[in-house]
Each structure stands twice: as structure tokens, then as C-alpha cells.
């Protein structure tokens, strides 16, 4: 495995601290709504939101594969999907594992990974979260 400690994450505050990779988002207790990425204020009521763990598993709601030249130094082709998170009621838009581009289907369970992938806004190699086939269903 590549040594990842010195590589910056593509965006700050999108993953929970700790050994297992989970998405980090916001939760508004007034609206009972989750947000990703976390905003300073709830998009519905403008109240303060709590930082919360959104988990690392999801089900594919819709998916498409993009075969034109990829932005941000990403490999081509690559798939993107709307995912329904399993831990909380929230649909997120996510990059999928480029190694599995075109192999996803609606209803499939996927899990979060983080690896060096593509470039950040400073055109530096960065760690980027993406979802991929669950390890236990791929082996």
C-alpha cells in the first residue's frame, strides 16, 4: 500500500477521524435532517448543525459512467452515482472506484474507500473518497 499520511485529503472535514473511513456530515436536530458535506448552517432552518458520522456503506440509487476525458487528473472512464447511505437517511452524489467503472448496478451495496486518486484544486496528488463494491461481496 502507498504511504498515505503525507498526502492531503481533497477537501477538509469530509471524513471522520479514526482508523475506519466514514463520511462526516452535519445533522440538524430541529429538522431531523442530515447534510453532506457539512454546512455551517442548516439549509432548511439556518440553525446550527452538529457534526455527525454518516457511516461507510450505501446502496446505489442511480449510476452512470463517463467516458469523456476526466477532470482533476482522474482516470477515464469513471462512474458516478447517487447513493442512499445505510447509516442515515441521506442521498449523496459520489465518485465510484475507477477500477470498477461501468460495472455497477442499481441496488448494489457499496462501501467507502479512500486512496490517492486524481488532483486537488492546487493540482497536487490527493486522497479522495469514493465508493466501491463491498469487499465481502467481491471476493
Q: Is 45 in the site for Zn ion (CB under 5 A)?
A: yes
Dihedral, CA atoms, 93, 99, 134, 64, nearest 10 degrees?
40
CA distance 52 to 70: 31
Q: Is 106 in the site for Zn ion (CB under 5 A)?
A: no
Stretch that binds Zn ion, among 15-23, 25-33, 75-83, 127-135 (CB under 5 A): 25-33
The least CB distance from residue 73 to Zn ion, in Å, is 36
CA distance 50 to 24: 10
Q: Is 30 in the site for Zn ion (CB under 5 A)?
A: yes
Q: Is 90 in the site for Zn ion (CB under 5 A)?
A: no
The least CB distance from residue 48 to Zn ion, in Å, is 9
Q: Is 48 in the site for Zn ion (CB under 5 A)?
A: no
The least CB distance from residue 28 to Zn ion, in Å, is 3
Rounded to a whole number of angstroms, the CA Rg of the chain reads: 15
CA distance 17 to 90: 20
For the purposes of burial, counting CB atoms within 10 Å of the CB of 26, is it exposed (0-12), middle (13-18) or buried (19 or more)?
buried
How many residues form the binding site for Zn ion (CB under 5 A)?
A: 7
Q: Which is nearer to Zn ion, 29 or 102 (CB)?
A: 29
Q: Is 44 in the site for Zn ion (CB under 5 A)?
A: yes
CA distance 37 to 2: 26
Q: Is 28 in the site for Zn ion (CB under 5 A)?
A: yes
The values of phi and psi at residue 135, to 5°, are: -55, -40
Provide the binding-site residues for Zn ion, judged by CB under 5 A.
Answer: 28, 30-31, 42, 44-45, 47
Amino acid at each position: 500500500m502507498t504511504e498515505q499520511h503525507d498526502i492531503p485529503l481533497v477537501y477538509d472535514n469530509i471524513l471522520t477521524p479514526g482508523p475506519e473511513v466514514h463520511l462526516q456530515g452535519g445533522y440538524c436536530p430541529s429538522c431531523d435532517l442530515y447534510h453532506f458535506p457539512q454546512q455551517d448552517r442548516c439549509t432548511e432552518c439556518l440553525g446550527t448543525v452538529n457534526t455527525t458520522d454518516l457511516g461507510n456503506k450505501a446502496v446505489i440509487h442511480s449510476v452512470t459512467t463517463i467516458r469523456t476525458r476526466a477532470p482533476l487528473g482522474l482516470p477515464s472512464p469513471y462512474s458516478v452515482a447517487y447513493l442512499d447511505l445505510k447509516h442515515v437517511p441521506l442521498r449523496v452524489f459520489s465518485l465510484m472506484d475507477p477500477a470498477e467503472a461501468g460495472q455497477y448496478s442499481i441496488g448494489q451495496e457499496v462501501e467507502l474507500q479512500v486512496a490517492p486518486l486524481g488532483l486537488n484544486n492546487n493540482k497536487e496528488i490527493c486522497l479522495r473518497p469514493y465508493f466501491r463494491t463491498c469487499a465481502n461481496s467481491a471476493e
